[in-house]
């Protein structure tokens, strides 16, 4: 029987090892070549550029399609260029233009939001006006102005009869509205719905003029209507709200036994020196008078349109402004403030101030009406 020799007996062991090693090297080189080819394909579709061409984006070497965030209104041509690996370089304004457009769009949105907020404030002001109709409903056509029990400046008591209606603000002008109209908020005691203060009589009238223009612009009042300070007679008529007592809620501010600045009967309706310590309230925090008007007693003194007269002798009887021929006359503030005792918050009380007076206890309330009649007299 013949025996066949094995392969290992014919071919030396070292030669076998050499052949195996060569095969492994060949396979490895094919793998490396395949990887290099794949990388070249990736570079063509990924957009590799030199760092010198990337300008301020020099640290970035490759961007992947899947991570590119495109503006929603990018044109088809530009979209194709991005998909082809296009990256704006130093000489391209594409990126700058897109950023500028985005920034401009953001500014437009902010401007629109500010305008919408501004209009909301104007509408809120109009919504908070109370219609006063002398001679109709609960509003008497006439009232007795002044007080025989009060200061000499409150005399003589005289009848005032109104010939037409008007609107008056439910609240003193809040700081957010004042700032929206005047562009600044000078108030010492800050709060968007706190009463605005720290401005003089002339500035109060400027506010009314500017508010009138804004309301007409947005068609929130008619062209023949305006916003102004109340006349002194309008103010007292609204403060009394159909009453003839010292306050709109009665004659007494104190309960029996109360001393000094205590005035617990007044406390529910007015901020005064007896209850204002430590408080920084928004408008309308306390009870209104019978006509739904807040802070007519206390919180802040309020400007009126009339100049000061020492008494009511020869005062107009139709509720109009009682003007004077004096140059830069003294002015009148009504209502009292958080800095005052209860007796200065009476409906008839009058304070004489200079037209330049500025105080954290002095603000305004507005009226919407047609042009007020003015009675001019020599002094």
Q: What is the pLDDT along the chain (379 residues), one digit of tens a residue?
A: 444 444 344 445 555 455 545 555 555 555 555 556 655 554 444 443 333 333 333 333 333 434 444 455 444 554 454 444 445 544 467 888 888 888 888 888 888 898 999 999 999 999 999 999 999 999 999 999 999 999 999 999 999 999 999 999 999 999 999 999 999 999 999 999 999 999 999 999 999 999 999 999 999 999 999 999 999 999 999 999 999 999 999 999 999 999 999 999 999 999 999 999 878 899 999 999 999 999 999 999 999 999 999 999 999 999 999 998 899 999 999 999 999 999 999 999 999 999 999 999 999 999 999 875 444 443 3
> What is the reported pLDDT for 29?
57
Domain spans of the chain, in order of start: 109-377
DSSP per-residue letters across 208-241:
HHHHHHHHHHTTSS-TT-EEEPPPHHHHHHHHHT
Enumerate the β-bridge partners of residue 247.
Answer: 250
Q: Give the per-residue pLDDT at 28.
A: 53
- Tell me what pLDDT residue 40 has: 56
Which residues have C-beta within 8 Å of that of residue 322, sequence separation ≥ 6?
Answer: 231, 232, 306, 307, 309, 315, 316, 375, 377
Q: What is the pLDDT of residue 237?
A: 98
CA within 13 Å, CB half, 23: 6
pLDDT value at position 108? 86
Structure tokens at 80: 């194709």
Model pLDDT, residue 110: 87
Contact 321, 306 (CB under 8 A): yes
Fold classification of 109-377 (topology level): 3.90.1580
Token pair of 151, please?
């200061």
- Supply the pLDDT for residue 46: 43
């Amino acid at each position: 029987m013949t025996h066949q020799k094995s392969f290992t007996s014919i071919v030396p062991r070292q030669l076998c090892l050499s052949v195996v090693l060569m095969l492994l090297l060949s396979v490895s080189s094919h793998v490396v070549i395949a990887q290099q080819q794949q990388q070249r394909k990736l570079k063509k579709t990924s957009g590799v550029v030199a760092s010198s061409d990337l300008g301020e984006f020099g640290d970035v070497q490759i961007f992947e399609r899947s991570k590119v965030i495109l503006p929603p209104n990018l044109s088809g041509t530009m979209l194709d260029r991005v998909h082809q690996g296009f990256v704006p370089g130093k000489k391209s304004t594409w990126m700058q233009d897109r950023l500028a457009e985005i920034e401009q769009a953001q500014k437009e949105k902010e401007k629109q939001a500010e305008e919408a907020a501004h209009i909301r404030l104007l509408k809120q002001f109009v919504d908070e006006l109370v219609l006063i109709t002398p001679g109709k409903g609960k509003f008497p056509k006439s009232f007795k102005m002044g007080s025989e029990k009060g200061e000499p400046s409150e005399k003589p008591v005289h009848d005032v009869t109104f010939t037409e209606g008007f609107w008056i603000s439910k609240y003193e002008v809040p700081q957010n509205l004042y700032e929206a109209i005047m562009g600044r908020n000078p108030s010492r005691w800050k709060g968007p719905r706190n009463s605005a203060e720290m401005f003089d009589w002339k500035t109060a009238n400027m506010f009314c003029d500017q508010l009138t223009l804004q309301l007409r612009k947005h068609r929130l009042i008619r062209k023949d209507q305006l916003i102004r300070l109340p006349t002194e007679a309008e103010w007292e008529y609204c403060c009394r709200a159909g009453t003839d007592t010292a306050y709109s809620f009665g004659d007494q501010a104190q309960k029996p036994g109360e001393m000094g600045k205590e005035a617990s009967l007044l406390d529910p309706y007015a901020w005064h020196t007896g209850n204002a310590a430590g408080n920084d309230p928004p408008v309308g925090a306390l009870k209104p008078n019978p006509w739904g008007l807040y802070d007519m007693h206390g919180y802040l003194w309020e400007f009126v349109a009339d100049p000061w007269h020492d008494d009511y002798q020869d005062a107009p009887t139709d509720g109009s402004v009682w003007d004077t021929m004096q140059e830069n006359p003294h002015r009148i503030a009504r209502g009292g403030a958080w800095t005052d005792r209860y007796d200065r918050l009476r409906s008839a009380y009058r304070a004489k101030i200079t037209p330049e007076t500025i105080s954290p206890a002095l603000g305004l309330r507005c009226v919407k009406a047609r042009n007020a009649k003015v009675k001019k007299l020599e002094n």
